[in-house]
Chain A
Amino acid sequence: MRVDRDPKTAKGSSVTAASSLDNHSGPIVRVVALRKQVVSPEGPLVILDDINFTIDRGESVAVVGASGSGKSTLLSLLAGLDTPSAGRVWLAGADLGELDEDGRALLRAQRVGFVFQSFQLLLGLTALENVMLPLELAGQPEPRRSALDLLERVGLKARARHYPTQLSGGEQQRVAIARAFAGNPDVLFADEPTGNLDQKTGHRIVDLLFDLNREQGTTLILVTHDAELAAYCDRVLELDDGRLQGETRKAEAR
């Protein structure tokens, strides 16, 4: 049982559901009977159905599947960015269904980092300000120094004052990775992180992502249709037409 008094939650929160996070044990993500259904012009459309799995701390998991298999939707539900039609999701010990929108936001601020296919940097902020953002949202001390350290780690310290539009795609994704790790998250969600990059740049981004992941002991949950990228992970969950079809666990380290 891991008992670590995390300074970031000691700051105190108005959301009571989030206060039980301090010393939970067991899986970082637990999904039970998850279902997502939307109303389309042709009637109800089931995107995800009867999804069950758990992910342990420090694991790296790839969710793979064809386009439209529901993998991005699954990611959004795991991260509390959207709400399921049925079933439950526990993230870092908290039942997402019991949290409201702001409660989930607070949980993300404290526990979760994101890397997106299209980077999703805020164009109005400099690279440094983008990385500072989650630190400030989580109320961490000295956000500027930590952010600069992280930019140095991804090799972009010299570009700290540049705006996203002044950076190449690969550089933008490195800023996004710095931002994702800035909050010192327990879980990192990555949605096709190399999808918009050429192969060579993509390789470098993946290396960076996994290196940081190892250094910080983060749980990595990665959505991709790229089998090569998925092979980097400890475990691969395969989605087909909204259902979990199979699970491959790597026997030995990469």
Chain B
Amino acid sequence: MKHYDVIIVGGGHAGVEAALASARMGVATALVTFRTEDLGTMSCNPAIGGLGKGHLVREIDALDGIMGRAGDYAAIQYRLLNRSKGPAVQGPRVQADRSRFRHFVAQEALATERLDVITAEVTALIWEGDTVGGVVLADDNRIHARAVVMTTGTFLGGKVFIGEESFPAGRMGDEASSLLAQQLRGLGLPMGRLKTGTPPRLDGRSIDWAALETQPGDAQPEYLSFLTRQTQARQVACAITHTNARTHDIVRANLGRSAMYGGQIEGVGPRYCPSIEDKITRFADKDSHQIFLEPEGLDDDTVYPNGISTSLPADVQEAYVRSIRGLENVRILQPGYAIEYDYLDPRALTSALRLRDLHGLYLAGQINGTTGYEEAGAQGLVAGLNAALFALGREPVSFSRSQSYIGVMIDDLTLRGVSEPYRMFTSRAEYRLSLRADNADQRLTPLGVSLGCIGGVRAEAFGQKIARLEDAKAALRGFSFTPKQLNAAGHKVSQDGMRRDALDLLGLPGFDFDAVVALAPDLGSIGAETRVQIEKEMVYHSYLDRQDAQIRALRADEARNIPDGFDYTAISGLSHELAGKLARVRPETLGQAMRIDGMTPAALVLVLARLQQGKMRARA
């Protein structure tokens, strides 16, 4: 019988980040997975990053996670989305070679100190009262641990649908974890069903590429990881094609044979990732839909047609795909399918992703109702860190909405739950202007250092970068100009008699670094990378000043903890409705309480008063 501090169940993106984070924290960690070859498998589209998602990848990277580095190793095309817009809404994205990604992840997982990768099926959790004590394997072996992180993805009660056929499975070709699902259901936790779909995979050799519009990558790649300095794989282009009236006719004529439309699936699918059946039914007036043909790898002819996920029978899939330009003679390597799976209502979790009412059990990834590698990886990181902190007897770490997309996501999940698979968008972040992909390291790496999850290489690189930024800002502050001087140099500024230093100037419209260097040639020695970073910080200057006050107030409220089991019914003056809501949601801080739907400022004062009252009594 083996003992670990932390066990991770599952080897997907959440599981790998959780295991590596736990190991970085210095505790003995085991990752248990069905198949070791599947570590780091991208089971859906072959891309990492994007809007909101790219932000999450940078944040994982800032905390020394693996996703950004693996993505850079696997990248066969770089695209910075929203390049023409401001830095807050730019999202780095790559097309990734599946096997390179898997290879990088597996190699690092297997080589990491204090991390054992165990190939087995977990069939049950071991309980000591309401505290988890480890896991039971299919061969009845037991592994003990102080904390367990479950990252079982769609494997819990997973069921695949292709047309009229359906069978239990976690992913095409893998078995579903039914025994574990049964035990979890037995715990009486709030569960639900969600669904997601995939498109048919195509054989690239049978695609008429010459007939299609291509989409090349960026000339200047924007890397996912703060540590990456150069492109590591050959770069390729994607292609774009479109559905047409004939495609739509074929789909429409066969809707009755679709699993989703035949009423076989009860789970809720994502609105932002509709199947081709959905697109044609809900947007009947649109006569064409865009499809991106994404290569799955350099040495792999598989092509992922992004935009036509389906649960139609295989013969209908072939018919509609072949009605599309460039795909007239295409071979389908694997038909598309829909998968329906169990998720656990994430409102049962704390901000540390621990089940509130059970000790030592953490959940991350799709099981919490999210979708996407990046969302899964970020949760895995948080769960892994917290499981390790728990094993070490240290306080949990929680992430604030004002500090990171990770904080936004976890707050959304644990406070509001999900009604469809949750995906990150930049519009979810109310402090979007300060939560940028470019400053994820400045926001989070210092926190990581204080937690102890940052390796030496990153810590040093980060320290140097900050020193360069500080030096450059000090240099900029050292040059100041009167409005008269600026006007003489051809810049229009108001004649208010105020001296402006070179950093202030970068916050004014019409000033970039070159303009500033023209005024003070000594500043020309500041390096290109540092210049870009400072320019990005100054773009939102006036807005950020306004936001800072709100952020400070929010953080003050988040610092006021509400003890678990706090009795809201004892607060006179608080309406029954609000008291009931608070008791159900169980906010951990006053900041969270404030975000509960229907909360009023006056009610918040009552809660605060009750908290203070408790303290006063304790003192008295």
Q: Do A and B bind each other?
A: no
- B residues within 8 Å of A by Cβ? none
